Amino acid sequence: MVLIDTNILLDVALEDPVWSEWSRRQLEAYGLRDRLAINPVVYAELAAAYPTIEGLDAMLAATRLAVAEMPRPALYLAGRVFVDYRREGGSRTGVLSDFFIGAHAAVTGAQLVTRDPAPYRRYFPTVEVVAPRAH
């Protein structure tokens, strides 16, 4: 399984002039090799860009993206990483969406395609992150 971060799908859906082509190529390439998925956190983040649930579900079907449930060990790991973040001086008071996404990839052994690799590489060093080089 390859997890897809929210920013990749928004690049394509909103036809980002800088990133849509790179993001589209990643979806195509990784979709040929493995099952593409998002988790419920990414689904919720995508809802902001789609006025109806039917529109969001149609996009997921068109891109052959499954919504993979998060295993309980991933939820636990996200919470533990959040504790580390707070100890290091992080100011956010709720578990960050990146922690749920990264923990999901870490626990399931999934690759993660994103344009924002820094938090994943820092807090989830075992995750194979696919990200653009300097653009």
Tens digits of residue pLDDT in 6-57 = 999 999 999 999 999 999 999 999 999 999 999 999 999 999 999 999 999 9
- Quote the longest CA-to-CA distance of the chain: 42
φ and ψ at residue 56, rounded to 5 degrees: -65, -45
Give CA torsion, residues 68, 72, 73, 79, to 10 deg: 100
**Structure confidence at residue 133 as a pLDDT band (50, 70, 90):** confident
Res 121 pLDDT > 70:
yes
CATH superfamily of 2-130: 5'-nuclease (3.40.50.1010)
Mean pLDDT of the chain: 96
pLDDT for position 97: 96
